[in-house]
Structure 1
Amino acid sequence: MATKLAARRYPAPAHAVGSLADAIPRPFWLEANTEPVPRPSLTETTEADLLVIGGGYTGLWTALQAKETDPGLDVVLLEANTCGWAASGRNGGFCSSSLTHGIGNGIERWGEEAATLERLGRENLDGIEESVRRYGIDCDFARTGELTFATKPWQVGELRTMTAQARKLGHDAVYLDAAQARAEVHSPTYLGGSWLRNSVAMLDPARLALGLRTACLRAGVRIHENSPVERLDPGARDVVAHTGYGRVRARKVMLASGAFTPLLRRLRNFIVPVYDYALVTEPLSEAALDSIGWRNRQGLGDAANQFHYYRLTADNRILWGGYDVVYHYRSAVRQELLRRPATFAKLAGHFFATFPQLEGTRFTHQWGGVIDTCSRFAPFVGTCSQGRIGYALGFTGLGVGASRFFAAAALDLLHGRETERTRLRMIQSRPVPFPPEPLRWTGIALTMWSLDRADRSGKRNLWLRCLDRLGLGFAS
């Protein structure tokens, strides 16, 4: 059972479905990059000062920043599969400065901290750029910014307001009218746009993850892949993590497991796993590129609740993702859920509606990934077991950049350091938990149906207005 966004009511045209004939079901980034030989599984009992569980961005940044702060710290990282295999190797490669899943969400929830959060977010993006340079991570990092388009009349005013807010909060932001938007990127669907010119970098997400892995190994982090942790046993002075073949006794533990079931029962109602899907085209010819413009190579998106995100790759393919967000009953996470033909067909139809001049273009890759989302859209951190276990979760699709910041915040909490980060109300609070099933599935399904209606009418129904008043919501 899953929430469905009316796929049957809006069938894709035949040429869109036909464009998927050769698309392989594998993430483009993982297909395009040579994966290193996996690190050995943990097969012994060992000790560590810090154990990191999870080899995605959050876990890798945690391990690397811990070693940067204290090179003598003994750090072990356990990954259930291989580093970067899950969300960190499957996303669109948008590395945003936002820590709050967008300026609007940040103002609504942490208004008095908004200016500080935006400044810290830009400093965090600067830090990522500096780390990429310092560690020689070849991930096509390019700070091109992000352009959000209005495709419905009521979105024009919203983008004007967002641009003004962004400028007030220190961003280099410009508003584009319809003619300017279509001159920047040629699509008949654009009615206006907001360009944050220095707040987002585009990159190859898998190469970033693999580069962080290499940096961790060179710093002395002991990484064990194909080593899923089965349980944690907190003791009076340390925590023991058990895998199938070995165990780690650590003074501190950092949970960085993303959308996968948290090892701590107390966290299981704070996040839900939702599936997001993407396509990648064949490389575009020079004539095809000329037909769409896009000379500044920004990351692009639309202003809908159910939004598309898209960007150019280094070899001039278009990655096209988003729109459908699918939650499966009882927070199911299974391999077969990574494939969803109805969504791939829908995405292809939307692609050609946006760029009709590209009809005849073929897609080469199609894939899905699972995202950890929470009721406030933005990440949360904390500790438990007398401060011996820390966590950072709930990234809601914007973890490429934010993972570094929240990993650092969690380390501050684990080690009892009072910093500007730890004084933030955002860091000191947690989201409202999701209700148990079947209320969870029902509430999410009703929310997604309501967002679909709002995108078509421009009006938020009673259910969405109630969620707004309660400070709750659901987004990709």
Structure 2
Amino acid sequence: MSLWMSVLPPEAPRPPLPGDAEADVCIVGAGFTGLWTAYYLAVADPSLRITVLEAQTAGFGASGRNGGWCSALFPKSVAYLDRRYGRADALALNAAMESTVDEVGRVAASEGIDCDYAKGGTVTLARTPAQLSRARAEVDAAAHFGVELHLLTADEARTRVGATNVLGATYTPHCAAIQPAKLVRGLAAACERRGVRLFEHTRVTRLSPGRAETPLGTVRAPIVVRATEGFTPQLPGLRRAIAPVYSLMIATDPLPPAFWAEAGLARRETFADFRHLIIYGQRTADDRLAFGGRGAPYHYGSTVDPTFDREPRVFTDLHRTLAELFPALAAVPIAHSWGGPLGIARDWMASVGLDEPTGLAWAGGYVGDGVGTTNLAGRTLCDLIRGERSDLVHLPWVGHRSPRWEPEPLRWLGVNTSLRVMAAADAAESRTGRPSRRAALMSRLLGD
């Protein structure tokens, strides 16, 4: 169980699907994607019969396990989107992502969801010369497109995040730290208040036009939405649609004021650094430090299993990295450790869409940046389903179809090799201070 879920009071499980049913819209998955879609549909048209089917409980997957960054991050850079779709579309998607951060806060406030929302922005530290070079390049690229991203000096960066070996940083205001389990639980309740039917412990075994089949019954609906992210490969015919890659986290107990006087994060800025193997952290509302990162292996055949949520080696590495950033935490025990799968499309491009002839809709492939992106997906699906020709339905990720992942064993070799290359690149850059050629090659192979 994640820190986020463990600190909430127990909640009675919702009943499973009682049998065959009919709906106007059937949504598979009660994470952020499914719940945001249900919420906006119910607000826009209270007469709609909306059914949400969840294999476990609302927020069981990445929505209740993530790092709590409600950010404007999109898996593909503005530069990539510019090359593929043109500058106007690239900037429109970036602007939509930035406004989404505020939209999540607006809905949380209007629905009375206390999710510890704090829009302190994100500080991404540069702690080696190679990382500082990447920071400067990112700021230059952002300036080229008129995107807000600030370069901080070493002193400015340390004022915000009192980590070791800081040479500089970038800062964006477009991120809020949240308690994701509070948000997903509150969002589920807001949906139910508007008449959405939410059935838990109801695993969908097959999707087809007009049907979501479960062992307990079949829901028939003209619109069926797949909102299953890292669990997508468990559905027939979708084994190669998404690669479920695990991200793991650790968290301390509440830390004393003396620690925070040195560590900073006074506005609850989220933080990371410019290493290749991603890390991410936040100061929680109750003064814990929650910290996560990649490094857990991809499992053969896109297998997802609860035993994969715990990798002792990765938890040890995360604690070591955290102590390297904040030496005062070296002797502080880790109170919580957890993990779970996120979804990566073959081209690392998130997408949302509705196939009108079949009525099958989808959203996903967030590559770990889904807390904000799911909200944009939910609003976009709402407009697509209702036939609204809004600005959202013309954004460049709408209707995108990613290629399928390679068959095994190529998929297993490719994903795990990329993880090893990035880890080795970080080690080499720490030793030499020079940018890694292997990491640059891997980035080109990933198409960004």
Q: TM-score, normalised by structure 1?
A: 0.87
Letter in 1 for 2:105: E
Q: Is the 8 A contact 1:276 1:324 kept in 2?
A: yes
Cα distance change of structure 1 residues 299 and 56 upon mapping to structure 2, 3 Å threshold: same
Distance 1:156 1:315 in 2: 32
Cα distance change of structure 1 residues 411 and 387 upon mapping to structure 2, 3 Å threshold: farther
Q: Is the 8 A contact 1:119 1:170 kept in 2?
A: no
How many angstroms does 1:318 deviate by?
A: 0.3
Distance 1:117 1:434 in 2: 25
1:253 aligns with 2:224: yes
Which of 163, 167, 180 pairs up with 1:191? 167
Distance 1:350 1:274 in 2: 20
- SS state of the match for residue 407, structure 2? coil
Paired position in structure 1 for 2:125: 149
Query: How many percent identity over aligned positions?
Result: 33
Paired position in structure 1 for 2:40: 65
- SS state of the match for residue 41, structure 1? coil
- SS state of the match for residue 326, structure 1? coil
Letter in 1 for 2:103: G
Letter in 2 for 1:247: T
Which of 128, 149, 159 pairs up with 2:104? 128
Q: Is the 8 A contact 2:118 2:268 kept in 1?
A: no
Paired position in structure 2 for 1:222: 197
How many angstroms does 1:425 deviate by?
A: 3.0
- SS state of the match for residue 36, structure 2? helix
Distance 1:125 1:188 in 2: 29
CA shift digits 1:30-63 (9 cap, x unpaired):
1001242111111122210000110000000010
1:309 aligns with 2:280: yes
1:419 aligns with 2:390: yes
Larger mean CA deviation between 225-234 and 47-56 belongs to 225-234
Distance 2:83 2:245 in 1: 23
Q: TM-score, normalised by structure 2?
A: 0.92
Distance 1:99 1:262 in 2: 22
Which of 73, 87, 90 pairs up with 1:114? 90
Cα distance change of structure 1 residues 173 and 392 upon mapping to structure 2, 3 Å threshold: same
- SS state of the match for residue 24, structure 2? strand
Letter in 1 for 2:171: W
CA shift digits 1:335-366 (9 cap, x unpaired):
11111101111111111111113332121000
CA shift digits 1:264-307 (9 cap, x unpaired):
65543231000111100111112222232332320000111212
Distance 1:432 1:391 in 2: 15
Distance 1:153 1:339 in 2: 33
Distance 2:129 2:82 in 1: 24
Paired position in structure 1 for 2:354: 383
Q: Is the 8 A contact 1:171 1:196 kept in 2?
A: no
1:407 aligns with 2:378: yes
Which of 204, 209, 225 pairs up with 2:184? 209
Paired position in structure 2 for 1:282: 253
How many angstroms does 1:200 deviate by?
A: 0.3
Larger mean CA deviation between 240-249 and 307-316 belongs to 240-249
Paired position in structure 2 for 1:240: 211
Letter in 2 for 1:84: G
Cα distance change of structure 1 residues 149 and 464 upon mapping to structure 2, 3 Å threshold: closer
Which of 174, 178, 186 pairs up with 2:154? 178
1:346 aligns with 2:317: yes
Cα distance change of structure 1 residues 450 and 400 upon mapping to structure 2, 3 Å threshold: same
- SS state of the match for residue 212, structure 2? strand
Which of 335, 338, 341 pairs up with 1:364? 335
Q: Is the 8 A contact 1:100 1:377 kept in 2?
A: yes
Letter in 2 for 1:183: T
Paired position in structure 2 for 1:44: 19
Larger mean CA deviation between 446-455 and 80-89 belongs to 446-455
Cα distance change of structure 1 residues 298 and 467 upon mapping to structure 2, 3 Å threshold: closer
Letter in 1 for 2:23: A
Distance 1:466 1:341 in 2: 27
Cα distance change of structure 1 residues 358 and 232 upon mapping to structure 2, 3 Å threshold: closer
Distance 2:67 2:197 in 1: 29
How many angstroms does 1:311 deviate by?
A: 0.8
Letter in 1 for 2:283: L
- SS state of the match for residue 60, structure 2? coil
How many angstroms does 1:427 deviate by?
A: 1.8
1:444 aligns with 2:426: no
1:330 aligns with 2:306: no
Paired position in structure 2 for 1:82: 57
Letter in 2 for 1:337: F
Letter in 2 for 1:419: S
Cα distance change of structure 1 residues 464 and 187 upon mapping to structure 2, 3 Å threshold: closer
CA shift digits 1:295-339 (9 cap, x unpaired):
232000011121210111111110011141421111110111111
CA shift digits 1:228-260 (9 cap, x unpaired):
1122343xxxx1222222221111111101111
Larger mean CA deviation between 403-412 and 50-59 belongs to 403-412
How many residue pairs get matched?
442
Q: Is the 8 A contact 1:454 1:460 kept in 2?
A: yes
Paired position in structure 2 for 1:3: none
- SS state of the match for residue 394, structure 2? coil
Cα distance change of structure 1 residues 77 and 323 upon mapping to structure 2, 3 Å threshold: closer
Paired position in structure 1 for 2:138: 162
Cα distance change of structure 1 residues 116 and 232 upon mapping to structure 2, 3 Å threshold: closer
Q: Is the 8 A contact 2:348 2:367 kept in 1?
A: yes
How many angstroms does 1:416 deviate by?
A: 4.0
- SS state of the match for residue 301, structure 2? helix
Distance 2:236 2:170 in 1: 42
Distance 1:170 1:140 in 2: 30
Letter in 1 for 2:319: A
- SS state of the match for residue 116, structure 1? helix
